[in-house]
Chains A and B, each alone.
Chain A
């Protein structure tokens, strides 16, 4: 079954300046996909279409059984909240909430995410994920005390809690050095495996290719000729 299926999708921010046109992109459920391309090639925009924060002008955007281009904005928001873990390029944590509260956020917003946790309590689930990501002991600290790599791990924890079917990560590792990138990706893949989530990982850096079972170059599938 397909997790994401884009057909004849086009999108532009301004009129007469098309940014994306994708004839066909199919990502199966359970796949780990690296989507790479140079800066400005529309990677974040493509993720926005998949996550439902943007709406395609034409074409079908099937995500986990729903057509994002036909849902109402609030239905898209709900679909994203319940089925997806979305990791932004930056600005991922809410500064006045503790680490525990940041991780718990999706479960508080969506009952469905809460239902899918494997531990018996929410706190148990948070502790389990935190341990996996090496965050135990920090849970009640304010987020501002953490290093960049610790903050990124908190973001992963929040993205995977409640077993979303699709995890989307946008340039997650670009702020880390190479050693950290490696161990980091391993962690991400591990937690996604455990929750059997599909992973779409976006990067401008194709040196990470070996970690993914499938690689998609955005420049190759985008029919808009960039000048």
Chain B
């Protein structure tokens, strides 16, 4: 009973410690995996973290835009390999609508070198075509051919809708386990078409709508973007280009290196990590104390056992070892159970966490920090076992013989 409870409390603290650590690393990996091979993220002048969060991870909204002319300037820059433009501004049942162009399907990479694949249909080519992420397709039950109505703004609930300009799903993207799954992709022209007859975020008065069928590509001119991704030709170019963009005279812009900005985010969240680790460390200390108390409680019952073992010729040293073996087995069992629980829960929580909070959680192996926890717990457990063992050893046999 006491043994079971001790194992349970050690398992609890181990799974807390490991859980906190794994969630941190899982989130870091998840975030890092969402965007690969992109050297710079460029947006209007502003904070680097908000830029990264809204452009890649769909958190928050851009406060202003950058002009298409500036985009064109850097798109044609000699140091640039490719660019992917993003324009945000619409949504559909809470899912972001991202206007982009073919470069996205061509060049976007996640998990190092995975590119965007279609499980059905093809890239949006016409004005009112849309491609949807796998989660959007699954959650809203859309297929190729479904008609969807988009809302202006990024809120889940919107009073006004672009009812006169429905989009057609022409492609469904394969699952990526990145924010791409939770977005709808349209063409830059498509977004422009929705804005065509709107003014100040309000629909046109009845009778003045421009019918969707009459809109031609030639009528549409993209004026601004929310952000764009850049891959440069070399590492050196990245730094030079970043400098050049940040000092661009025509328009105030911000260029960030995504990995560095993510680092900023993690150091910001580091305090939460430390606080949680301290709490789980405290739980561990309590668990070890519980084990000490447990071992001491059964010590009295153990005296008869010790006495019998010594009459049949066990050495005091062997009995000492038995006690240590017991506490080592208890702490190891706790560790194994705790690790299993931590990884089991992580595995189960993965999909819901990604769906509800949009936090990509990668399954990660055992880090050096986890092995350190495991090592410390087992060593601490063994040393805790030494305390009753030393008592028994010192009391020798007579204690056992005379125990009444």
Task: List chain A positions with a Cβ less than 8 A from chain B.
Answer: 44, 48, 51, 53-54, 73-74, 77-78, 80-82, 86-95, 105-106, 109-110, 158
Contacts and interface: CB of A to CB of B under 8 A. Distances in A.
B305 A82 contact: no
A54 B188 CA distance: 94
Contacts of A44: 401-402
Nearest to B311: A86
Interface stretch (B112-120, B121-129, B312-320, B368-376): B312-320
B295 to A, nearest CB: 17
Contacts, number: 64
A80 B311 CA distance: 7
Contacts of B317: 74
B313 A91 contact: no
A41 B313 CA distance: 26
A158 B312 CA distance: 9
B168 to A, nearest CB: 73
Contacts of A86: 311-312
Interface class of chain B by DSSP: helix
Interface of B: 303-305, 307-317, 396-398, 400-404
Given A48-B401, A91-B403, A78 B308 contact: no
Contacts of B308: 88, 91-94, 105
Given A78-B313, A109-B314, 8 more contacts: A53-B310, A88-B401, A91-B308, A91-B403, A94-B305, A105-B308, A106-B312, A106-B313
B302 to A, nearest CB: 11
Contacts of A80: 311, 313
B307 A88 contact: yes
Nearest to B301: A95
A190 to B, nearest CB: 22
Chain A CB within 10 Å, residue with most, of B316, B317, B397:
B397
Contact of B397 (A48, A78, A81, A109): A48
Given A53-B401, A91-B400, A77 B316 contact: yes
Nearest to A112: B313
A81 B305 contact: no
Contacts of B315: 73-74, 77-78
A61 to B, nearest CB: 15
Chain A CB within 10 Å, residue with most, of B309, B310, B403, B404:
B310
Contacts of A106: 312-313
Would you list the 5 A-B pairs with minimal beta carbon distance, nearest first? A81-B313, A91-B304, A53-B397, A86-B311, A74-B315
A87 B308 CA distance: 9
A105 B304 contact: no
